[in-house]
Amino acid sequence: MKKIIILIPVFNDWESLKKLILEINENIEIFKNIIFECLIINDSSTIKQPKLIIPSNLKFLEILNMNENRGHARCNAFGMRYVIQNKKFDYLIVMDGDGEDRPSEIKDLVNTILEKPLVSVVAKRIKRSEGFFFQFLYQAHKLITIIFTGKNINFGNYSILTNEDVNKLHSKASLWSSFSGTVKNNLYPLNEINSTRGLRYFGPSQMSLFNLLIHSFSIIAVFKYQVFLRSTIFIIILAYLNSSLGNFSIFLQTLLVAFNFLIFLVSQREKETDLINSYKNLKNKTIITH
């Protein structure tokens, strides 16, 4: 019998998590021959954890409580290392805990990976629910990523990974900074499902503009060597065009240098030592069973 672990980071958003678990339970009911467990990474929440009740279709609910808040990406990285080192499983689902990763799409993820059991599956965003400004920034991010890395990264965290692929990723330094960038850089081939980003269950998004920019740069920084190479080519071309473009060419070259400097700074978030030692941030754990 196959076992699937669902990995969900949470910071303070306990009401959303309670609703999410119930909706997950409804959507996994059809898979009678699969064991589902849920692993919650409590990222040092400041709001007291309410009593969580495990629903009928989840065999096991485990909550890992962290000492220090380190952010969403690092919770995923720690969680992936934890399951490799402590769990037996066939597949790992990674998803957000606020409702934006819709539980109804778990069925599509699982059915797709059952068709090709050795190929991990990502949820490709075909429709988003955010406002115009956020969607404009997202499209700009995708365009810049394609230009400087040659990669079309049209998915976030929501995915189902094979045990082999989790094992392949769990020690990559870039995982400490960017999940989707690391997946794109290390896993091939990848299957995908079409995904519509859902609405948050409760409250506004906790993603500030600054954190959104860091998130974008973190993805691009996974491919920093491609970025540096392509930028060098662009700068050489612009240097040849100095006579015709004048100050505009110099402006673009300066912009490219500044962009590469920012990518270099963000790439310093990729710390293999911190990833390997992330277990030291585990405070305690709670296990809930039937």
Q: Return the CATH number at 15.
A: 3.90.550.10
Residue 135 lies in a domain: no
CB atoms within 10 A of CB 151: 18
Residue 150: the pLDDT is 94
- Cis bond before residue 189 (omega within 30° of 0): yes
Phi, psi of 8, rounded to the nearest 5 degrees: -135, 115
Q: Are residues 45 and 103 both part of a single domain?
A: yes
Q: Are residues 251 and 163 both part of a single domain?
A: no
Q: Are residues 40 and 105 both part of a single domain?
A: yes
Residue 144 lies in a domain: no
Q: How far apart are CA 93 and CA 86, in angstroms?
A: 16
**Nearest residue to 39 via CA among 2, 72, 10, 1:** 10
240, 59 in Cβ contact below 8 A?
A: no
Residue 111 lies in a domain: yes
Q: Are residues 35 and 107 both part of a single domain?
A: yes
Tens digits of pLDDT across the chain (290 residues)? 999 999 999 999 999 999 999 999 999 999 999 999 999 999 999 999 988 989 999 998 999 999 999 999 999 999 999 999 999 999 999 999 999 999 999 999 999 999 999 999 999 988 655 566 777 777 888 899 999 999 999 899 999 999 999 999 999 999 999 999 999 999 999 999 999 988 889 876 666 667 778 889 999 999 999 999 999 999 999 999 988 888 899 999 999 999 999 999 999 999 999 999 999 999 999 999 88
- Whether the CA torsion 93, 43, 66, 23 is positive or negative: it is negative
Q: Are residues 27 and 69 both part of a single domain?
A: yes
Residue with tokens 């700068």: 235
Q: Which domain holds residue 241?
A: 224-266
**Nearest residue to 50 via CA among 12, 5, 6:** 12
Residue type at position 233: I
Residue 3: the pLDDT is 97
Q: Are residues 122 and 189 both part of a single domain?
A: yes
- How many domains, in total, are found in the chain? 2
Residue 139: the pLDDT is 81
pTM of the model: 0.93
Q: Is 110 exposed, middle or buried (0-12, 13-18, 19+ CB in 10 A)?
A: buried
Burial 216-246 (b: 16+ CB within 10 A, else e): bbbbbbbbbeebeebbeebbeebeeeeeeee
3-class state of residue 153 by DSSP: coil
Q: Are residues 254 and 284 both part of a single domain?
A: no
Residue 146 lies in a domain: no
Beta strands, E only, the chain: 2-10, 34-42, 60-66, 91-94, 121-127, 155-162, 191-196, 282-288
Residue 12: the pLDDT is 94
Residue 215: the pLDDT is 86
Residue 40 lies in a domain: yes
Q: Are residues 231 and 183 both part of a single domain?
A: no
Phi, psi of 235, rounded to the nearest 5 degrees: -65, -40
Q: Are residues 158 and 240 both part of a single domain?
A: no
What's the order of all strands across the beta sheet hosting 34-42? 191-196, 121-127, 155-162, 91-94, 2-10, 34-42, 60-66, 282-288
Q: Are residues 190 and 282 both part of a single domain?
A: yes
Residue 205: the pLDDT is 66
243, 215 in Cβ contact below 8 A?
A: no
Q: How far apart are CA 172 and CA 186, in angstroms?
A: 9
Helices (H) and strands (E) in the chain, counts: 11, 8
Phi, psi of 117, rounded to the nearest 5 degrees: -65, -15
Q: Are residues 253 and 234 both part of a single domain?
A: yes
Q: Are residues 163 and 61 both part of a single domain?
A: yes
pLDDT in tens, 68-107: 999 999 999 999 999 999 999 999 999 999 999 999 999 9
